[in-house]
Amino acid sequence: SQELEQSPQSLIVQEGKNLTINCTSSKTLYGLYWYKQKYGEGLIFLMMLQKGGEEKSHEKITAKLDEKKQQSSLHITASQPSHAGIYLCGADLNTGNQFYFGTGTSLTVIP
Amino acid sequence: DSGVTQTPKHLITATGQRVTLRCSPRSGDLSVYWYQQSLDQGLQFLIQYYNGEERAKGNILERFSAQQFPDLHSELNLSSLELGDSALYFCASSVGIGNTIYFGEGSWLTVV
């Protein structure tokens, strides 16, 4: 079983549309990270959330952390083809200090 | 550029062989992580080192081993390779536990 589940698994949107990706943990979150990956390439760090209720934005990407729900969401406003890729959430679930990754969400943006 | 350097970028080898993947962490980072990414398994945590000491172990096979050297670079050794070991192997580093983890570009391993 996966400690971090992401939904949806894949997403295809028209350019300009907004979208949300969710990451839910089966354990208490001690910080939640979001990364973006293009297939076959490295992971690019987007942002880190450490406190419940925390919200961070970078360009058109906003992430929020709901500690009580053990959940984080990543929202992209007015999507562009450059947003396409695989989005991964990651967290230290404090179970042996292992850093886990979510199942990933593949985003396609159609021009 | 994350500052984490991995070599080689691509490697093709035969079953039963042994390979070594190398990682140089970002300057100042003491913690190194190794991950395996395959199409069917996603991104799997293998092992973590902190300042030369093994810190955490994930789904690392007994045929695989790793170490972090005094200069903080790390090596992942994969032996008795099988077809199923074909994957993208990532190294990542962070200043310490609980700090942002930065990833290298990965080493593509193909076992034929």
**Is residue A75 scored above 70 in pLDDT?**
yes
Using the Cβ of B95 and the Cβ atoms of chain A, whether some distance falls under 8 Å is answered with no
> pLDDT tens track of chain B, all 112 residues?
889 999 999 999 999 999 999 999 999 999 999 999 987 778 888 999 999 999 888 889 999 999 999 999 999 999 999 999 999 999 999 998 777 889 999 999 999 9
What per-residue confidence (pLDDT) applies to B57? 87
Three-state secondary structure call for residue B83: helix
Asked if A92's CB is within 8 angstroms of B102's CB, the reply is no
What per-residue confidence (pLDDT) applies to B20? 98
Asked if B90's CB is within 8 angstroms of A31's CB, the reply is no
What per-residue confidence (pLDDT) applies to B96? 80
Model pLDDT for residues B6-26, shown as the tens digit of each residue: 999 999 999 999 999 999 999
What per-residue confidence (pLDDT) applies to B38? 86
What per-residue confidence (pLDDT) applies to B22? 98
Nearest CA-CA distance, residue A16 and chain B, Å: 28
Using the Cβ of B92 and the Cβ atoms of chain A, whether some distance falls under 8 Å is answered with yes
Q: For residue B88, with 0-12 CB atoms within 10 Å meaning exposed, 13-18 middle and 19 or more buried, which class applies?
A: buried
What per-residue confidence (pLDDT) applies to B2? 84
Comparing CB atoms, the residue among A42, A92, A103 nearest residue B90 is: A42
For testing contact with chain A, the best of B6, B9, B32, B43 (most A CBs within 10 A): B43
Please give the average per-residue pLDDT across A60-87, as a whole number. 93
What per-residue confidence (pLDDT) applies to B109? 96
What per-residue confidence (pLDDT) applies to A50? 83
Q: For residue A9, with 0-12 CB atoms within 10 Å meaning exposed, 13-18 middle and 19 or more buried, which class applies?
A: exposed
Work out the pLDDT band at A109, boundaries 50, 70, 90.
very high
* Residue pairs between chains A and B whose CB atoms are closer than 8 Å: 54
For testing contact with chain B, the best of A9, A32, A36, A98 (most B CBs within 10 A): A98
Chain A hits for B104, Cβ within 8 Å: 42
Residue in chain A lying closest to B90 (CA): A42
CB B26 within 8 A of CB B3: yes
Instruction: List, in sequence order, every residue forming a beta bridge with B76; answer none if it has no partner.
Output: B21, B66
Nearest CA-CA distance, residue B99 and chain A, Å: 9
What per-residue confidence (pLDDT) applies to B15? 97
> Hey, which residues 55-84 in chain A have their CB within 8 Å of chain B?
none
CB B104 within 8 A of CB B6: yes
Model pLDDT for residues A20-71, shown as the tens digit of each residue: 999 999 888 778 899 999 877 888 999 999 878 889 998 899 999 988 888 9
* Percentage of chain A exceeding pLDDT 70: 95
* Whole-number Cα distances in Å, A81 to A8, A63, A104, A106, B18: 18, 19, 18, 13, 40
What per-residue confidence (pLDDT) applies to A95? 56
**Is residue A108 scored above 90 in pLDDT?**
yes
What per-residue confidence (pLDDT) applies to A94? 63
